[in-house]
Structure 1
């Protein structure tokens, strides 16, 4: 058995295209669209010898691999490492990196905490916070849409909803960036972020203890499940931490990317201004168009086929969600941002049993901030060239100077 990037090198069918590309190169992560296009053009799957893995970027095949938890498991890691043959850098997520029946038990608890009723109770507070922030940014004039808006808003509402008493925007945002970069190869970027673990992880663990949380939040609901013997105390703490690693970074990215889309497409922003109820569809279309989570892995648990392509057991597969969400086979004029599209079926929040458990909260946050923008902002000016932040799993802006002009 030969290992490459801590997973098994398996035999690949002779007719699968071989592509000498590095999906984790900085230029690919910052400007992924040419990579997405070529990946789809080469076939249903390609073999990337640099990392000894298959990659898929067409919608149908990507959705099949990503959603079939019995043939393509998450419990062996959603990054390059295979947890069956290599020790992960931290304990695996008991939601993201497990399969049924364990996954069913933990997801039931976290879904209860993030229930539609619980989230609905927060919507007025979200709207008030959003209105105040947009008023402040209009008064400010020019600002950074990432630091001052996309990061500032979720961090102002979500950790408090979890029940956190001490909130550090930098720690929370960096925690997600660290976790997602750890899914990639053993390169300089991964090493740099894992060096931050000694500072970030102890802080996160301390804030997520039962005694550190205020009553009535998502975290308290999860710890109540431990009192009812549905979880252990340790598992409850892990679930609360999972809320922060997945619930901050992806929402920050989705909101920032939506502002980027609206700023670059003023005719779409005009539609949103005329009908603020398009806030949610605008967010969904931005998720499809920019795919905040650009790639996750699965591991084949059996010998199988997808789209007529044979796949050997133990093969690590890179599901390129960003490419699938721009597939013309699925979406007419896929390369066009259109907030009236209603892109049902996009893969930005995953699919099936591993669909993002916090997506209802992310949508509520995005709807609040985009509605406030639609009601209060006349136009969005992007100043200079936005800078994209390379990350092994997240396609996020690092900075984008903008000006909101008052209505």
Structure 2
């Protein structure tokens, strides 16, 4: 008697779950709003994509770590997928398990309509899955795909059944998988405080399809990559904006400047709880609004991170306010005063530089704040070479009679310059 009552309750529940959302589906079709009149009120929006053979789930889905479902992608098994079984509510459906339309791995399961009688059929996990509803929330998700023309698509359901510690049935609920979109991924949050009977200690996961008459024969739904486990969201992402922008080269300021720091955190799931920042490795403070700091000469460090509403913490990141107001200098320069022949110093002189043949021009550029950047070599006002890596050397091998001006310009990373001219 108890078993008969339980089966009747399941049939009534399934009927309600199907009828209520379908009556509302046409109303929401224009603006792609899904029916939400059943148990789940923390539903996360169904993700739909441009039709293609395979989807890529959003980056924040983590669908392997902590999965409590055995064989979630239906890869294991002999004649049927391991850990799953068929449950019939009537005749007229074909259960499929093959490599057609797989999303993750090589196989997926399906249910195909072959009957003229409206019935519901489902794949269900064969073993009980342990849960702790008093202390945990869970994510239930699946990939699914409808096959056939739009008029043939029927109603798929992602569901869950709860049982007490003795295996007695307590509840069942689910959500209709929208028939207007195919090739997509669906996820919903299951809150322990709202949906699970506190007596529940076990659950089974249900993948259901409703057959609906001979005109819908051969219509089918496929399921793959089923996940049930605790939420494993990505942490928030915090961005940092500094104003005004650097006035020098390579992200450097050329004078001490008061800057405004604005932090902006986003979280794709639960929302941002708080953002924290630290200046020059000082104490962490909670960010509430943009703040200003004086960028003194050298490197000023702004570190920051955010936490979402379920406690996921972002790894701290850093932005640097770099200030260099000091010019670089040449510590040495060649050629020096003297007489050179084919790059060899023959006679040191104290008053001039004479060069016959080729010669290597070389400088040692020093900057103690931002560091050396590049050196330009000019002859008689014409740029001949730019060297960006030490050693700063250029081979001057033009044989032009007469006197010339060799000019060397050195730059630090902030864009400050030092100039040296050598009459040759």
Report the TM range for the smaller structure's normalisation. under 0.3
Instruction: Tell which structure's C-alpha radius of gyration is larger.
Output: 2
The higher relative CO (CA closer than 8 Å, separation ≥ 6) is in 1
**Larger fraction in helix:** 1
TM-score (norm 1): 0.20
**Larger fraction in strand:** 2
